[in-house]
Structure 1
Amino acid sequence: MNTLLTAPAAPRPYALDAAGVTLSAILAEPAPGTAPRSTILAVHGRGMRAAYWNSFVPLATALGHTVLAVDRPGYGESANLLPEGLTLAEQADTLHAALKEHARTHDIGAGVFLLGHSDGGKVALHTAATDGSVPLLGLDTSGTGYFYNPEALHFPSTLGGGATKLNWGPLNLYPRGTFQASRALLSPTPPRESAETIHWPRQFEALAPRVRVPVRLTFAEHEFWWQLDEPTLAAMTARLTSAPTTTVAHHPAAGHNITLGLTAPAYHLRVLTFLEECLMVPAAG
Protein backbone atom coordinates (compact mmCIF):
# COMPACT_ATOMS: atom_id res chain seq x y z
CA MET A 1 0.00 0.00 0.00
CA ASN A 2 1.27 3.47 -0.88
CA THR A 3 0.11 4.74 2.51
CA LEU A 4 2.85 2.69 4.13
CA LEU A 5 5.52 4.48 2.07
CA THR A 6 4.57 8.10 2.72
CA ALA A 7 4.57 9.84 6.07
CA PRO A 8 1.10 10.77 7.37
CA ALA A 9 0.23 14.37 8.05
CA ALA A 10 1.00 15.58 11.58
CA PRO A 11 -1.93 15.47 14.05
CA ARG A 12 -3.46 18.89 14.62
CA PRO A 13 -5.97 20.50 16.95
CA TYR A 14 -9.42 20.52 15.41
CA ALA A 15 -12.80 22.00 16.28
CA LEU A 16 -16.06 20.15 15.53
CA ASP A 17 -19.38 21.92 15.20
CA ALA A 18 -21.99 19.64 16.75
CA ALA A 19 -25.32 21.42 16.23
CA GLY A 20 -24.14 24.52 18.03
CA VAL A 21 -21.79 22.81 20.48
CA THR A 22 -18.10 23.21 19.65
CA LEU A 23 -16.06 20.14 20.53
CA SER A 24 -12.29 20.22 20.67
CA ALA A 25 -10.53 17.30 19.02
CA ILE A 26 -7.33 16.00 17.49
CA LEU A 27 -7.42 15.27 13.76
CA ALA A 28 -4.78 13.02 12.23
CA GLU A 29 -4.95 12.17 8.54
CA PRO A 30 -3.05 9.91 6.12
CA ALA A 31 -0.37 11.32 3.85
CA PRO A 32 -1.35 14.49 1.99
CA GLY A 33 -3.14 13.63 -1.22
CA THR A 34 -4.12 10.19 0.06
CA ALA A 35 -7.82 9.44 0.41
CA PRO A 36 -8.59 7.89 3.82
CA ARG A 37 -9.72 4.29 3.85
CA SER A 38 -11.95 5.02 6.86
CA THR A 39 -12.35 7.49 9.71
CA ILE A 40 -11.80 6.28 13.27
CA LEU A 41 -13.75 8.18 15.91
CA ALA A 42 -11.70 7.67 19.10
CA VAL A 43 -13.66 8.34 22.30
CA HIS A 44 -11.78 8.76 25.60
CA GLY A 45 -12.85 7.49 28.99
CA ARG A 46 -14.04 9.06 32.21
CA GLY A 47 -11.90 11.92 33.49
CA MET A 48 -9.57 11.87 30.47
CA ARG A 49 -9.06 13.87 27.24
CA ALA A 50 -8.65 13.11 23.54
CA ALA A 51 -4.85 12.89 23.84
CA TYR A 52 -5.37 9.49 25.51
CA TRP A 53 -5.23 8.14 21.93
CA ASN A 54 -1.93 9.78 20.93
CA SER A 55 -0.01 6.51 20.78
CA PHE A 56 -2.65 4.94 18.52
CA VAL A 57 -2.53 7.68 15.89
CA PRO A 58 0.77 6.95 14.04
CA LEU A 59 -0.04 3.33 13.21
CA ALA A 60 -3.63 4.05 12.19
CA THR A 61 -2.72 6.93 9.88
CA ALA A 62 0.22 5.00 8.39
CA LEU A 63 -2.29 2.33 7.39
CA GLY A 64 -4.42 4.90 5.62
CA HIS A 65 -7.06 5.79 8.20
CA THR A 66 -8.05 9.18 9.53
CA VAL A 67 -8.21 9.39 13.33
CA LEU A 68 -10.63 11.86 14.88
CA ALA A 69 -9.99 11.80 18.63
CA VAL A 70 -12.61 13.97 20.28
CA ASP A 71 -12.94 15.61 23.68
CA ARG A 72 -16.38 14.34 24.68
CA PRO A 73 -19.18 16.85 25.37
CA GLY A 74 -18.48 18.37 28.78
CA TYR A 75 -14.72 18.00 28.35
CA GLY A 76 -12.17 20.25 26.69
CA GLU A 77 -13.51 23.31 24.89
CA SER A 78 -17.14 22.38 25.55
CA ALA A 79 -16.71 22.26 29.34
CA ASN A 80 -17.60 25.95 29.81
CA LEU A 81 -20.70 25.65 27.64
CA LEU A 82 -21.75 22.39 29.31
CA PRO A 83 -20.57 22.69 32.94
CA GLU A 84 -22.89 19.88 34.03
CA GLY A 85 -21.99 17.77 31.01
CA LEU A 86 -24.45 15.60 29.09
CA THR A 87 -25.87 12.13 29.61
CA LEU A 88 -24.28 9.32 27.63
CA ALA A 89 -27.20 9.25 25.20
CA GLU A 90 -27.00 13.01 24.71
CA GLN A 91 -23.27 12.72 24.11
CA ALA A 92 -23.95 10.15 21.39
CA ASP A 93 -26.46 12.48 19.71
CA THR A 94 -23.89 15.27 19.84
CA LEU A 95 -21.21 13.05 18.33
CA HIS A 96 -23.58 12.09 15.50
CA ALA A 97 -24.10 15.79 14.79
CA ALA A 98 -20.33 16.35 14.84
CA LEU A 99 -19.72 13.42 12.48
CA LYS A 100 -22.36 14.70 10.07
CA GLU A 101 -20.69 18.10 9.93
CA HIS A 102 -17.21 16.58 9.61
CA ALA A 103 -18.37 14.35 6.74
CA ARG A 104 -19.77 17.40 4.97
CA THR A 105 -16.28 18.88 4.60
CA HIS A 106 -14.00 15.82 4.74
CA ASP A 107 -13.67 12.47 2.99
CA ILE A 108 -14.47 9.83 5.62
CA GLY A 109 -13.55 6.86 3.42
CA ALA A 110 -15.71 3.77 3.68
CA GLY A 111 -17.33 5.04 6.88
CA VAL A 112 -16.71 5.63 10.58
CA PHE A 113 -15.20 3.05 12.93
CA LEU A 114 -15.97 3.65 16.61
CA LEU A 115 -13.13 3.17 19.10
CA GLY A 116 -14.00 3.71 22.75
CA HIS A 117 -12.39 3.31 26.13
CA SER A 118 -14.19 2.82 29.47
CA ASP A 119 -16.98 5.44 29.74
CA GLY A 120 -16.07 6.45 26.21
CA GLY A 121 -16.92 2.90 25.21
CA LYS A 122 -20.36 3.42 26.74
CA VAL A 123 -20.79 6.52 24.58
CA ALA A 124 -19.55 4.59 21.55
CA LEU A 125 -22.15 1.88 22.21
CA HIS A 126 -24.85 4.55 22.47
CA THR A 127 -23.56 6.05 19.21
CA ALA A 128 -23.68 2.68 17.47
CA ALA A 129 -27.24 2.14 18.71
CA THR A 130 -28.44 5.54 17.48
CA ASP A 131 -29.41 6.18 13.88
CA GLY A 132 -27.27 8.77 12.14
CA SER A 133 -26.49 9.99 8.67
CA VAL A 134 -22.91 8.69 8.64
CA PRO A 135 -22.26 5.00 7.82
CA LEU A 136 -20.74 3.03 10.71
CA LEU A 137 -18.29 0.19 10.15
CA GLY A 138 -17.80 -1.38 13.57
CA LEU A 139 -17.07 -0.81 17.23
CA ASP A 140 -14.13 -1.75 19.44
CA THR A 141 -14.26 -0.89 23.13
CA SER A 142 -11.70 -1.52 25.85
CA GLY A 143 -12.56 -1.53 29.53
CA THR A 144 -16.33 -1.31 28.99
CA GLY A 145 -18.22 -4.12 30.70
CA TYR A 146 -21.73 -4.97 31.86
CA PHE A 147 -21.80 -5.36 35.64
CA TYR A 148 -19.37 -3.53 37.90
CA ASN A 149 -16.93 -5.34 40.14
CA PRO A 150 -18.36 -4.95 43.69
CA GLU A 151 -15.05 -3.38 44.74
CA ALA A 152 -15.60 -0.57 42.22
CA LEU A 153 -19.16 0.31 43.16
CA HIS A 154 -18.15 3.36 45.20
CA PHE A 155 -16.91 4.89 41.89
CA PRO A 156 -13.83 6.65 43.26
CA SER A 157 -12.62 9.89 41.70
CA THR A 158 -9.89 9.67 39.07
CA LEU A 159 -8.62 13.15 39.91
CA GLY A 160 -8.70 12.40 43.62
CA GLY A 161 -6.46 9.37 43.18
CA GLY A 162 -8.92 6.91 44.69
CA ALA A 163 -9.13 4.88 41.50
CA THR A 164 -5.43 4.14 41.10
CA LYS A 165 -5.67 0.33 41.25
CA LEU A 166 -8.87 0.26 39.20
CA ASN A 167 -7.47 2.45 36.43
CA TRP A 168 -3.93 1.18 36.24
CA GLY A 169 -3.43 -2.25 37.76
CA PRO A 170 0.25 -3.20 38.35
CA LEU A 171 2.35 -0.11 37.76
CA ASN A 172 5.14 -2.04 36.02
CA LEU A 173 2.84 -2.46 33.01
CA TYR A 174 3.51 1.14 31.97
CA PRO A 175 6.57 2.95 30.57
CA ARG A 176 8.61 5.06 32.93
CA GLY A 177 7.15 8.56 33.20
CA THR A 178 3.62 7.50 32.25
CA PHE A 179 1.96 8.61 35.47
CA GLN A 180 3.52 12.06 35.50
CA ALA A 181 2.77 12.57 31.80
CA SER A 182 -0.80 11.32 32.21
CA ARG A 183 -1.66 14.17 34.56
CA ALA A 184 -2.05 16.34 31.47
CA LEU A 185 -4.80 13.98 30.26
CA LEU A 186 -6.93 14.22 33.39
CA SER A 187 -10.08 16.30 33.51
CA PRO A 188 -13.02 16.54 35.94
CA THR A 189 -15.88 14.18 35.16
CA PRO A 190 -19.04 16.21 34.42
CA PRO A 191 -21.73 15.73 37.10
CA ARG A 192 -24.46 14.44 34.76
CA GLU A 193 -22.12 11.75 33.48
CA SER A 194 -21.14 10.70 36.99
CA ALA A 195 -24.75 10.62 38.20
CA GLU A 196 -25.80 7.95 35.73
CA THR A 197 -22.79 5.65 36.20
CA ILE A 198 -24.70 3.36 38.58
CA HIS A 199 -27.43 2.88 35.95
CA TRP A 200 -25.14 1.52 33.21
CA PRO A 201 -26.26 -2.14 33.35
CA ARG A 202 -29.88 -1.16 32.64
CA GLN A 203 -28.79 1.30 29.97
CA PHE A 204 -26.74 -1.37 28.24
CA GLU A 205 -29.66 -3.79 28.28
CA ALA A 206 -31.84 -1.20 26.52
CA LEU A 207 -29.37 -0.12 23.85
CA ALA A 208 -27.52 -3.38 23.09
CA PRO A 209 -30.21 -4.86 20.80
CA ARG A 210 -30.03 -1.72 18.62
CA VAL A 211 -26.31 -2.05 17.83
CA ARG A 212 -26.12 -3.22 14.22
CA VAL A 213 -22.37 -3.24 13.55
CA PRO A 214 -19.67 -5.81 14.38
CA VAL A 215 -18.53 -5.44 17.99
CA ARG A 216 -15.25 -6.32 19.69
CA LEU A 217 -15.07 -6.04 23.49
CA THR A 218 -11.52 -5.91 24.84
CA PHE A 219 -10.62 -6.43 28.50
CA ALA A 220 -7.18 -6.11 30.04
CA GLU A 221 -5.69 -8.95 32.04
CA HIS A 222 -5.70 -6.64 35.09
CA GLU A 223 -9.14 -5.11 34.63
CA PHE A 224 -10.69 -4.33 38.04
CA TRP A 225 -13.68 -2.14 37.19
CA TRP A 226 -15.83 -4.96 35.82
CA GLN A 227 -17.03 -8.48 36.53
CA LEU A 228 -15.35 -10.62 33.88
CA ASP A 229 -16.52 -14.13 34.71
CA GLU A 230 -17.67 -16.19 31.74
CA PRO A 231 -21.42 -16.12 32.59
CA THR A 232 -21.38 -12.30 32.84
CA LEU A 233 -19.50 -11.88 29.56
CA ALA A 234 -21.79 -14.40 27.86
CA ALA A 235 -24.81 -12.45 29.11
CA MET A 236 -23.27 -9.24 27.75
CA THR A 237 -22.65 -10.58 24.26
CA ALA A 238 -26.04 -12.32 24.20
CA ARG A 239 -27.75 -8.93 24.45
CA LEU A 240 -26.04 -7.68 21.28
CA THR A 241 -28.61 -9.52 19.21
CA SER A 242 -28.39 -7.30 16.10
CA ALA A 243 -24.60 -7.13 15.85
CA PRO A 244 -23.39 -9.23 12.87
CA THR A 245 -20.48 -10.50 14.99
CA THR A 246 -19.51 -10.10 18.65
CA THR A 247 -16.05 -10.95 19.95
CA VAL A 248 -14.62 -10.82 23.47
CA ALA A 249 -10.85 -10.35 23.59
CA HIS A 250 -8.59 -10.55 26.65
CA HIS A 251 -5.42 -8.49 26.41
CA PRO A 252 -2.46 -9.84 28.41
CA ALA A 253 -0.02 -7.82 30.50
CA ALA A 254 -2.23 -4.73 30.60
CA GLY A 255 -4.31 -2.70 33.03
CA HIS A 256 -7.52 -0.78 32.45
CA ASN A 257 -5.74 2.03 30.57
CA ILE A 258 -4.47 -0.32 27.86
CA THR A 259 -3.50 2.40 25.40
CA LEU A 260 -1.05 3.95 27.88
CA GLY A 261 0.70 0.67 28.69
CA LEU A 262 3.70 -1.23 27.36
CA THR A 263 1.51 -3.63 25.40
CA ALA A 264 -0.46 -0.83 23.70
CA PRO A 265 1.12 -1.51 20.27
CA ALA A 266 -0.21 -5.07 20.31
CA TYR A 267 -3.67 -3.83 21.24
CA HIS A 268 -3.60 -1.20 18.50
CA LEU A 269 -2.64 -3.81 15.91
CA ARG A 270 -5.57 -5.97 17.00
CA VAL A 271 -7.95 -3.01 16.77
CA LEU A 272 -6.78 -2.28 13.24
CA THR A 273 -7.00 -5.95 12.26
CA PHE A 274 -10.61 -5.92 13.42
CA LEU A 275 -11.19 -2.75 11.39
CA GLU A 276 -9.84 -4.57 8.31
CA GLU A 277 -12.44 -7.28 8.90
CA CYS A 278 -15.18 -4.66 9.26
CA LEU A 279 -14.17 -3.10 5.93
CA MET A 280 -15.06 -6.38 4.23
CA VAL A 281 -18.76 -6.02 5.03
CA PRO A 282 -21.21 -3.21 4.11
CA ALA A 283 -21.36 -0.30 6.56
CA ALA A 284 -24.49 0.24 8.62
CA GLY A 285 -26.35 3.40 7.66
Structure 2
Amino acid sequence: MRRITLEAAGVTLSALLSEPEGTTPRAVVVAVHGGGMNAAYFDGRARPQLSLLTLGARLGYTVLAVDRPGYGHSAAGLPRGQGLADQAATLRAALHDFSSRWDTGAGLFLLAHSYGGKVALTTAAQSGLPDLLGLDISGCGHEYALSPHETPGSHTRGRLRMNWGPLRLYPPDTFATSRSLVEPMPAYERAELDRWPELFRATAPRVRVPVRLTFAEHEAWWRHDETTLTDLAAYFTAAPRLVVDRQPDAGHNISLGWAARSYHLRALSFLEGCLAADEATPARRPASIS
Protein backbone atom coordinates (compact mmCIF):
# COMPACT_ATOMS: atom_id res chain seq x y z
CA MET A 1 0.00 0.00 0.00
CA ARG A 2 1.19 3.51 -0.78
CA ARG A 3 -0.09 7.06 -0.66
CA ILE A 4 -0.71 8.93 -3.89
CA THR A 5 -2.36 12.18 -4.99
CA LEU A 6 -4.89 12.75 -7.74
CA GLU A 7 -5.58 15.96 -9.64
CA ALA A 8 -9.26 16.81 -9.80
CA ALA A 9 -10.08 20.02 -11.69
CA GLY A 10 -7.92 22.23 -9.50
CA VAL A 11 -8.29 20.16 -6.32
CA THR A 12 -5.58 17.73 -5.22
CA LEU A 13 -6.96 14.69 -3.42
CA SER A 14 -4.88 12.23 -1.42
CA ALA A 15 -5.54 8.51 -1.59
CA LEU A 16 -4.31 5.09 -0.50
CA LEU A 17 -3.45 2.69 -3.31
CA SER A 18 -3.03 -1.08 -3.09
CA GLU A 19 -2.29 -3.08 -6.25
CA PRO A 20 -2.17 -6.81 -7.02
CA GLU A 21 1.37 -8.13 -7.15
CA GLY A 22 2.79 -9.23 -10.47
CA THR A 23 -0.38 -8.95 -12.53
CA THR A 24 -2.70 -6.41 -14.10
CA PRO A 25 -5.83 -5.67 -12.07
CA ARG A 26 -9.14 -7.28 -12.90
CA ALA A 27 -10.86 -4.00 -11.96
CA VAL A 28 -10.42 -1.05 -9.59
CA VAL A 29 -12.34 -0.90 -6.33
CA VAL A 30 -12.76 2.79 -5.48
CA ALA A 31 -13.40 3.03 -1.73
CA VAL A 32 -15.23 6.17 -0.56
CA HIS A 33 -15.23 6.84 3.19
CA GLY A 34 -17.96 8.32 5.37
CA GLY A 35 -18.23 11.54 7.32
CA GLY A 36 -15.72 12.30 10.05
CA MET A 37 -13.22 9.68 8.85
CA ASN A 38 -10.63 9.48 6.08
CA ALA A 39 -9.56 6.86 3.55
CA ALA A 40 -7.77 4.79 6.22
CA TYR A 41 -11.23 3.58 7.30
CA PHE A 42 -10.77 0.88 4.65
CA ASP A 43 -7.40 -0.22 6.02
CA GLY A 44 -8.40 -1.38 9.49
CA ARG A 45 -5.21 -1.65 11.53
CA ALA A 46 -6.68 -3.49 14.52
CA ARG A 47 -6.37 -6.79 12.63
CA PRO A 48 -4.66 -7.26 9.22
CA GLN A 49 -7.50 -9.41 7.88
CA LEU A 50 -9.95 -6.50 8.27
CA SER A 51 -8.27 -4.33 5.64
CA LEU A 52 -10.13 -3.97 2.33
CA LEU A 53 -6.93 -2.68 0.71
CA THR A 54 -5.05 -5.85 1.63
CA LEU A 55 -7.86 -8.27 0.74
CA GLY A 56 -8.76 -6.65 -2.57
CA ALA A 57 -5.18 -6.67 -3.85
CA ARG A 58 -4.74 -10.33 -2.87
CA LEU A 59 -7.84 -11.18 -4.93
CA GLY A 60 -6.51 -9.43 -8.01
CA TYR A 61 -8.08 -5.98 -7.71
CA THR A 62 -6.52 -2.57 -7.41
CA VAL A 63 -8.05 -0.82 -4.40
CA LEU A 64 -8.06 2.98 -4.42
CA ALA A 65 -9.29 4.55 -1.18
CA VAL A 66 -9.79 8.26 -1.79
CA ASP A 67 -9.80 11.03 0.81
CA ARG A 68 -12.96 12.95 -0.10
CA PRO A 69 -12.82 16.75 -0.64
CA GLY A 70 -12.20 18.44 2.71
CA TYR A 71 -10.27 15.47 4.11
CA GLY A 72 -6.61 14.49 3.95
CA HIS A 73 -4.50 16.58 1.59
CA SER A 74 -7.40 18.77 0.45
CA ALA A 75 -8.50 19.77 3.97
CA ALA A 76 -6.24 22.84 4.04
CA GLY A 77 -7.52 24.16 0.71
CA LEU A 78 -11.15 23.18 1.35
CA PRO A 79 -11.62 23.78 5.10
CA ARG A 80 -15.42 23.83 4.66
CA GLY A 81 -15.37 20.88 2.27
CA GLN A 82 -17.81 20.63 -0.62
CA GLY A 83 -21.48 19.85 -1.05
CA LEU A 84 -22.63 16.56 -2.57
CA ALA A 85 -22.85 17.70 -6.19
CA ASP A 86 -19.41 19.31 -6.06
CA GLN A 87 -17.89 16.28 -4.30
CA ALA A 88 -19.27 14.00 -7.02
CA ALA A 89 -17.78 16.23 -9.73
CA THR A 90 -14.41 16.32 -7.92
CA LEU A 91 -14.38 12.55 -7.44
CA ARG A 92 -15.24 12.02 -11.10
CA ALA A 93 -12.36 14.29 -12.16
CA ALA A 94 -9.97 12.47 -9.81
CA LEU A 95 -10.96 9.11 -11.27
CA HIS A 96 -10.37 10.41 -14.79
CA ASP A 97 -6.87 11.39 -13.65
CA PHE A 98 -6.33 7.96 -12.09
CA SER A 99 -7.57 6.18 -15.23
CA SER A 100 -5.14 8.16 -17.37
CA ARG A 101 -2.16 6.94 -15.34
CA TRP A 102 -3.05 3.46 -14.04
CA ASP A 103 -4.45 0.31 -15.59
CA THR A 104 -8.10 -0.02 -14.50
CA GLY A 105 -8.79 -3.51 -15.87
CA ALA A 106 -12.48 -4.00 -16.64
CA GLY A 107 -13.44 -0.70 -15.03
CA LEU A 108 -14.31 1.02 -11.77
CA PHE A 109 -16.45 -0.24 -8.89
CA LEU A 110 -17.46 2.21 -6.15
CA LEU A 111 -17.50 0.73 -2.65
CA ALA A 112 -18.73 3.40 -0.25
CA HIS A 113 -19.66 3.86 3.39
CA SER A 114 -22.21 6.16 5.04
CA TYR A 115 -21.84 9.73 3.68
CA GLY A 116 -19.53 8.29 1.06
CA GLY A 117 -22.53 6.29 -0.15
CA LYS A 118 -24.34 9.55 -0.86
CA VAL A 119 -21.34 10.74 -2.86
CA ALA A 120 -21.16 7.43 -4.74
CA LEU A 121 -24.85 7.53 -5.66
CA THR A 122 -24.58 11.15 -6.77
CA THR A 123 -21.47 10.34 -8.83
CA ALA A 124 -23.20 7.40 -10.52
CA ALA A 125 -26.29 9.51 -11.26
CA GLN A 126 -24.21 12.12 -13.04
CA SER A 127 -22.81 11.48 -16.50
CA GLY A 128 -19.18 11.33 -17.48
CA LEU A 129 -17.71 8.44 -15.44
CA PRO A 130 -16.63 5.77 -17.91
CA ASP A 131 -16.49 2.02 -17.24
CA LEU A 132 -18.51 2.15 -14.01
CA LEU A 133 -19.30 -1.46 -13.15
CA GLY A 134 -21.50 -0.98 -10.10
CA LEU A 135 -21.94 0.34 -6.57
CA ASP A 136 -21.68 -1.34 -3.18
CA ILE A 137 -22.80 0.88 -0.32
CA SER A 138 -23.00 0.23 3.42
CA GLY A 139 -24.45 2.37 6.18
CA CYS A 140 -26.56 4.62 3.95
CA GLY A 141 -30.34 4.58 3.65
CA HIS A 142 -33.01 7.10 2.77
CA GLU A 143 -34.89 7.61 6.06
CA TYR A 144 -33.04 8.58 9.23
CA ALA A 145 -33.81 6.70 12.46
CA LEU A 146 -33.57 9.65 14.83
CA SER A 147 -35.50 10.94 17.80
CA PRO A 148 -37.91 13.82 17.05
CA HIS A 149 -35.61 16.38 18.74
CA GLU A 150 -32.51 15.25 16.81
CA THR A 151 -31.26 16.19 13.37
CA PRO A 152 -28.55 14.33 11.43
CA GLY A 153 -26.10 17.18 11.93
CA SER A 154 -26.70 17.65 15.65
CA HIS A 155 -24.12 16.72 18.28
CA THR A 156 -25.77 14.32 20.71
CA ARG A 157 -24.46 12.07 23.44
CA GLY A 158 -25.89 9.11 21.56
CA ARG A 159 -23.75 9.76 18.50
CA LEU A 160 -21.05 7.30 19.63
CA ARG A 161 -23.64 4.54 19.95
CA MET A 162 -25.07 5.33 16.51
CA ASN A 163 -21.67 5.27 14.83
CA TRP A 164 -20.41 2.10 16.45
CA GLY A 165 -23.16 0.05 18.07
CA PRO A 166 -22.12 -2.52 20.71
CA LEU A 167 -18.38 -2.30 21.26
CA ARG A 168 -18.08 -6.12 21.37
CA LEU A 169 -18.45 -5.99 17.58
CA TYR A 170 -14.94 -4.51 17.24
CA PRO A 171 -11.45 -5.80 18.13
CA PRO A 172 -10.40 -4.49 21.56
CA ASP A 173 -7.69 -2.18 20.17
CA THR A 174 -9.89 -0.64 17.45
CA PHE A 175 -10.07 2.81 19.02
CA ALA A 176 -6.34 2.98 19.73
CA THR A 177 -5.50 2.05 16.13
CA SER A 178 -8.20 4.28 14.61
CA ARG A 179 -7.15 7.66 15.97
CA SER A 180 -5.40 8.67 12.75
CA LEU A 181 -8.43 8.01 10.57
CA VAL A 182 -10.80 10.35 12.44
CA GLU A 183 -11.18 13.88 11.02
CA PRO A 184 -13.76 16.66 11.53
CA MET A 185 -16.74 16.61 9.20
CA PRO A 186 -16.51 19.72 6.98
CA ALA A 187 -19.25 22.32 7.31
CA TYR A 188 -20.69 22.06 3.80
CA GLU A 189 -21.40 18.36 4.02
CA ARG A 190 -22.73 18.65 7.56
CA ALA A 191 -25.16 21.33 6.34
CA GLU A 192 -26.58 18.95 3.71
CA LEU A 193 -27.29 16.04 6.04
CA ASP A 194 -30.91 17.03 6.65
CA ARG A 195 -31.57 17.26 2.89
CA TRP A 196 -30.50 13.72 2.04
CA PRO A 197 -33.97 12.08 2.05
CA GLU A 198 -35.09 14.64 -0.53
CA LEU A 199 -31.87 14.38 -2.55
CA PHE A 200 -32.02 10.58 -2.52
CA ARG A 201 -35.46 10.56 -4.13
CA ALA A 202 -34.13 12.64 -7.01
CA THR A 203 -30.84 10.74 -7.32
CA ALA A 204 -31.67 7.02 -7.10
CA PRO A 205 -33.83 6.88 -10.26
CA ARG A 206 -30.86 8.15 -12.33
CA VAL A 207 -28.46 5.37 -11.27
CA ARG A 208 -28.04 2.98 -14.22
CA VAL A 209 -25.58 0.42 -12.86
CA PRO A 210 -26.04 -2.52 -10.46
CA VAL A 211 -26.38 -1.48 -6.82
CA ARG A 212 -25.94 -3.38 -3.56
CA LEU A 213 -26.95 -1.78 -0.25
CA THR A 214 -25.90 -3.30 3.08
CA PHE A 215 -27.38 -2.53 6.50
CA ALA A 216 -25.57 -3.73 9.60
CA GLU A 217 -27.55 -5.71 12.17
CA HIS A 218 -26.93 -2.89 14.68
CA GLU A 219 -27.30 0.01 12.23
CA ALA A 220 -28.72 2.93 14.23
CA TRP A 221 -28.53 5.87 11.81
CA TRP A 222 -31.05 4.55 9.31
CA ARG A 223 -34.43 2.88 9.34
CA HIS A 224 -34.06 -0.54 7.78
CA ASP A 225 -37.28 -2.38 8.56
CA GLU A 226 -38.80 -4.33 5.67
CA THR A 227 -41.37 -1.66 4.79
CA THR A 228 -38.70 1.06 4.62
CA LEU A 229 -36.38 -1.10 2.51
CA THR A 230 -39.18 -1.93 0.09
CA ASP A 231 -39.81 1.79 -0.33
CA LEU A 232 -36.08 2.46 -0.77
CA ALA A 233 -35.73 -0.20 -3.45
CA ALA A 234 -38.63 1.23 -5.46
CA TYR A 235 -36.61 4.37 -6.27
CA PHE A 236 -33.92 2.48 -8.22
CA THR A 237 -36.03 2.29 -11.35
CA ALA A 238 -33.09 2.38 -13.81
CA ALA A 239 -30.63 0.08 -12.01
CA PRO A 240 -30.35 -3.26 -13.86
CA ARG A 241 -29.89 -5.06 -10.56
CA LEU A 242 -30.54 -4.10 -6.94
CA VAL A 243 -29.57 -6.14 -3.89
CA VAL A 244 -30.46 -5.09 -0.35
CA ASP A 245 -28.44 -7.11 2.15
CA ARG A 246 -27.92 -7.35 5.90
CA GLN A 247 -24.64 -7.88 7.71
CA PRO A 248 -25.01 -9.81 10.98
CA ASP A 249 -22.89 -9.04 14.03
CA ALA A 250 -21.95 -5.59 12.75
CA GLY A 251 -22.45 -1.95 13.69
CA HIS A 252 -22.52 1.13 11.45
CA ASN A 253 -18.73 1.13 10.97
CA ILE A 254 -18.71 -2.33 9.40
CA SER A 255 -15.23 -2.13 7.86
CA LEU A 256 -13.60 -1.65 11.27
CA GLY A 257 -15.40 -4.50 13.03
CA TRP A 258 -15.00 -8.25 13.29
CA ALA A 259 -17.46 -8.56 10.39
CA ALA A 260 -15.27 -6.49 8.04
CA ARG A 261 -13.77 -9.42 6.14
CA SER A 262 -17.18 -11.03 5.68
CA TYR A 263 -18.63 -7.77 4.39
CA HIS A 264 -15.70 -7.08 2.06
CA LEU A 265 -15.91 -10.60 0.60
CA ARG A 266 -19.62 -10.14 -0.02
CA ALA A 267 -18.97 -6.80 -1.71
CA LEU A 268 -16.27 -8.31 -3.92
CA SER A 269 -18.59 -11.20 -4.74
CA PHE A 270 -21.12 -8.63 -5.97
CA LEU A 271 -18.34 -7.09 -8.07
CA GLU A 272 -17.65 -10.54 -9.54
CA GLY A 273 -21.30 -10.68 -10.60
CA CYS A 274 -21.00 -7.25 -12.19
CA LEU A 275 -17.92 -8.42 -14.11
CA ALA A 276 -19.71 -11.56 -15.29
CA ALA A 277 -22.69 -9.53 -16.50
CA ASP A 278 -20.37 -7.10 -18.25
CA GLU A 279 -18.57 -9.93 -20.04
CA ALA A 280 -21.89 -11.46 -21.10
CA THR A 281 -23.23 -8.34 -22.82
CA PRO A 282 -23.42 -8.65 -26.63
CA ALA A 283 -20.87 -5.86 -27.15
CA ARG A 284 -18.28 -7.79 -25.12
CA ARG A 285 -18.82 -11.25 -26.62
CA PRO A 286 -16.17 -12.51 -29.05
CA ALA A 287 -17.22 -12.91 -32.65
CA SER A 288 -18.36 -16.40 -33.53
CA ILE A 289 -16.22 -18.56 -35.77
CA SER A 290 -17.99 -20.09 -38.77
TM-score for both structures, normalised by structure 2: 0.90
1:112 & 1:24 partners in 2: Cα distance? 18
Alignment partner of 1:146 out of 142, 148, 151: 142
Which amino acid in 1 is paired with 2:96?
Answer: K
Moved more, 213-222 or 57-66: 57-66
Q: How does 1:70-149 map to 2 (within 5 A)?
A: 70-149=66-145
Give the superposition deviation at 1:83. 1.2
Give yes or no for contact 1:156–1:163 (8 Å, CA) kept in 2.
no
Alignment partner of 2:18 out of 7, 18, 28: 28
Give the structure 2 partner of residue 280 of structure 1. 276
Give yes or no for contact 2:201–2:235 (8 Å, CA) kept in 1.
yes
Which amino acid in 1 is paired with 2:252?
Answer: H
Give yes or no for contact 2:33–2:66 (8 Å, CA) kept in 1.
yes
Output the aligned Cα RMSD: 1.7
Give the structure 1 partner of residue 286 of structure 2. none
Q: The residue matched to 2:255 in structure 1 has which SS?
A: helix
Which amino acid in 1 is paired with 2:120?
Answer: A
Give yes or no for contact 2:28–2:107 (8 Å, CA) kept in 1.
yes
Give the superposition deviation at 1:176. 1.0
The answer to whether 1:256 aligns with 2:245 is: no
Which amino acid in 2 is paired with 1:83?
Answer: P
Give the superposition deviation at 1:133. 4.0
**Tell me, which stretches of 5 or more residues in structure 1 are unaligned?**
1-10
Give yes or no for contact 1:141–1:216 (8 Å, CA) kept in 2.
yes
Provide, for residues 88-128 of structure 1, a one-character-per-residue CA deviation record: whole Å limited to 9, x for no partner: 11101101101111111111010100000000011011111
Alignment partner of 1:155 out of 152, 155, 158: 152
Give the structure 2 partner of residue 44 of structure 1. 33
Give the structure 1 partner of residue 7 of structure 2. 17
1:271 & 1:236 partners in 2: Cα distance? 19
Q: The residue matched to 1:248 in structure 2 has which SS?
A: strand
Q: The residue matched to 1:176 in structure 2 has which SS?
A: coil
2:99 & 2:146 partners in 1: Cα distance? 42
Which amino acid in 1 is paired with 2:217?
Answer: E
Give the superposition deviation at 1:183. 1.9
2:129 & 2:72 partners in 1: Cα distance? 25
2:179 & 2:230 partners in 1: Cα distance? 36
Give the superposition deviation at 1:231. 1.5
Which amino acid in 2 is paired with 1:26?
Answer: L
Give the structure 2 partner of residue 271 of structure 1. 267
Q: How does 1:196-215 map to 2 (within 5 A)?
A: 196-215=192-211
Give yes or no for contact 2:174–2:256 (8 Å, CA) kept in 1.
yes
1:64 & 1:161 partners in 2: Cα distance? 42
TM-score for both structures, normalised by structure 1: 0.92
Provide, for residues 189-235 of structure 1, a one-character-per-residue CA deviation record: whole Å limited to 9, x for no partner: 11010001000011000111110110000000000000111111111
Q: The residue matched to 2:217 in structure 1 has which SS?
A: strand
Give yes or no for contact 2:29–2:109 (8 Å, CA) kept in 1.
yes
Q: The residue matched to 1:137 in structure 2 has which SS?
A: strand
Which amino acid in 2 is paired with 1:267?
Answer: Y
Alignment partner of 2:184 out of 184, 188, 193: 188
Q: The residue matched to 2:202 in structure 1 has which SS?
A: helix
**Tell me, which stretches of 5 or more residues in structure 2 are unaligned?**
44-50, 282-290
Give the superposition deviation at 1:151. 3.0
Give the superposition deviation at 1:156. 5.8
Which amino acid in 1 is paired with 2:199?
Answer: Q
2:120 & 2:96 partners in 1: Cα distance? 16
Tell me the number of residue pairs that the alignment of Structure 1 and Structure 2 aligns.
272
Q: The residue matched to 2:267 in structure 1 has which SS?
A: helix
Which amino acid in 2 is paired with 1:22?
Answer: T
1:235 & 1:103 partners in 2: Cα distance? 36
